[in-house]
Structure formats: C-alpha cells, structure tokens
C-alpha cells in the first residue's frame, strides 16, 4: 500500500510539474521578456541587459523565497487558466453552428466542400458501374482517392462548424444507423459492461484529447503575448499547428474506440437489460433498448 501511494504521489507531482508549473514558468518568462523588449527591440540583447542586471541583484533570503514562491504561484495560475481555456475550446469545437453567423458560415462552407467531394465520388462510382468489368475497377485509385477526400472533410455530411465537432456527431449518427441507438443514452450502461482493457484505451484516448486541447490553449496564450513581442507569435503558430494535429488524431482514435466498444459489447447491454434479439443486434432491438433507458413507452405497472 505504501509503495502504491508513493507511486501515485510521484505521478501526481510529475503531472503537476509537466502540465502546470513548467509550461506556466515558460509563459511567464516569455511575458516578462515581452514586457521589457516589445516589438521594436524584440531580438536586441542590449535591451534585455537591465532585466538581467535586476535578476543578478543581491536579495535577502526572504526576498528570494517570496520571489520564487510568487513565480511558482503565478505559473500555477497560468497553467490552470490554460486548462480552463482548453475545456472552453472543447465546448466551442462542439457548437452546433446554427444560431451564430460565423459558426454557421463555417458549417456551410464545410458542407459545400463535402457536397462537391460527394458528387465527385458518386460520378466516379457511376462511371465504374457503367464500365465493361465493374468488379475489376470497383475500388479503382481515383474512386478511393475521392472517397478519402470526402471522408477527410467528414464521415457524414457536416453538421458542425469544426471537423472535431463533426467527428463526434458522425460517431453518434453511425451508431444510430447501425443499431438504432442513441449513444448519449446508452453510453453509461455500455461503459459499465466494458472490460478493463477497453476502458483503459478509451480513458487514454480521452486524456490525449484533453491534453491536445490544452496545447491549443497555450497557443492562444502565447498569441496574447505575441501582440507585444513578435517572437511569441512563432511559438503560437508552432503550438497551434501541433495542438490541432494532435487534437484531430486524438479525437479520431477516441471515436474509433467508442464505435468499436458499441460493435463488440452492445449485445452485453441487451442481454443485461433482457431485450430479446436473435443473432446480430437489429435496429428494432436498439430502439427497444433506447425506449427502456429513456423510461418511455413502457407498460404501466
């Protein structure tokens, strides 16, 4: 038990340092340099000389302790702000994009791109089916490329302004189409029957998604510093590109794991709920599960 607590404490300290203190200290250093140098002397070493002299000044032990404590406290506050901003970004990525004009424009633009790619794929498929030997050319390279281009925009016709929000929506749509299930309703019951390995994989993918969103939030914070010191904009762009790529990879893996969990273990939910079905779970059985979980359309007691 003692070894377990020690290992847990070490992991907590490690995550505290890596996710809060160290990134926060780096941001604070960048902010201090930005405040001192500004745009005009962004890379001028001479302009930083007064700041270096102040850091080398002799201080009492109490002053040094207060300075270090203040730096760590401010770094932790900035780290917490980045985590909160990451949570806000995750909510923003899932906005429906119907009421606010900018998000509606983004959604409509993604729809136009998807519709154009879908028409191209449909045209190529029609040409293949009209060929003399359609079975030999059914999955020709041009058709595969057209499908890949369409799916890179969205697995389903876009309903959200962002790819991330659409990937979530597409997961629910695909599960409903296959099993007649509302993922939001059935997921808590499905989670309870998943084996530990599947739970661990999904939890790891969800953690990767959260950490990637925090990386994007750091890009936003460095962008704020970049308003006063242009080298911070370079850091902002690098973090934004890396964060968005990691976020897309993480959400793609997470959605694939969720769909896999439904494919492999939804029958266990049906068995636990005593919903009858034969062979493969049908959409009728899925709708029966949904009605039972919503406590609707049930006979009176």
Whether pLDDT at 5 is above 50 = no
∠133-134-138 over CA atoms, to 5°? Answer: 135
Best CA proximity match to 177, nearest among 294, 251, 287:
287
Please report how the helices 101-129 and 141-153 are oriented relative to each other, as an axis angle in degrees rounded to 10.
160
d(CA 83, CA 72): 16
Closest CA to 218 of 8, 19, 52: 19
For 260-283, write each residue's pLDDT tens digit.
999 899 888 888 888 887 777 888
Torsion angles phi and psi, residue 157, rounded to 5: -60, 130
pLDDT tens digit string along 176-187?
998 888 888 889
Structure tokens at 223: 């962008």
Spans of all domains in the chain: 180-301
pLDDT in tens, 46-88: 555 565 565 555 556 666 667 677 777 888 888 889 999 999 9
Model pTM score: 0.80
What are the tens digits of pLDDT across the range 211-227? 999 999 999 999 988 88
């Amino acid at each position: 038990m003692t070894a377990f607590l020690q290992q847990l404490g070490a992991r907590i300290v490690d995550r505290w340092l890596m996710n809060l203190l160290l990134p926060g200290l780096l941001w604070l250093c960048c902010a201090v340099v930005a405040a001192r140098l500004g745009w005009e002397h962004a890379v001028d070493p001479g302009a930083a000389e007064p700041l270096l002299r102040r850091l080398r000044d002799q201080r009492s032990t109490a002053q040094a302790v207060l300075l270090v404590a203040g730096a760590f406290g401010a770094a932790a506050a900035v780290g917490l702000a980045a985590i909160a901003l990451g949570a806000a970004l995750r909510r923003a990525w899932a906005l429906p994009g119907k009421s606010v004009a900018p998000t509606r424009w983004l959604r409509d633009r993604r729809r136009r791109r998807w519709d154009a790619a879908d028409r191209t794929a449909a045209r190529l498929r029609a040409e293949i089916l009209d060929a003399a030997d359609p079975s030999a050319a059914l999955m020709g390279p041009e058709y595969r490329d057209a499908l890949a281009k369409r799916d890179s925009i969205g697995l389903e016709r876009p309903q959200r302004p962002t790819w991330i929000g659409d990937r979530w929506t597409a997961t629910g749509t695909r599960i409903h189409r296959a099993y007649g299930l509302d993922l939001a309703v059935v997921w808590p019951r499905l989670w309870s029957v998943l084996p530990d390995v599947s739970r661990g994989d999904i939890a790891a993918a969800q953690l990767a998604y959260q950490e990637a969103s925090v990386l994007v939030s750091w890009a936003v914070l460095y962008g704020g510093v970049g308003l006063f010191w242009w080298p911070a904009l370079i850091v902002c762009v690098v973090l934004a590109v890396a964060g968005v790529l990691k976020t897309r990879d993480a959400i793609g893996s997470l959605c694939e794991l969720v769909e896999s969990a439904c494919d492999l273990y939804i029958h266990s939910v049906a068995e636990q709920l005593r919903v009858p079905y034969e062979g493969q779970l049908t959409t009728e059985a899925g709708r029966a599960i949904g009605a039972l979980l919503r406590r609707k359309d049930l006979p009176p007691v």
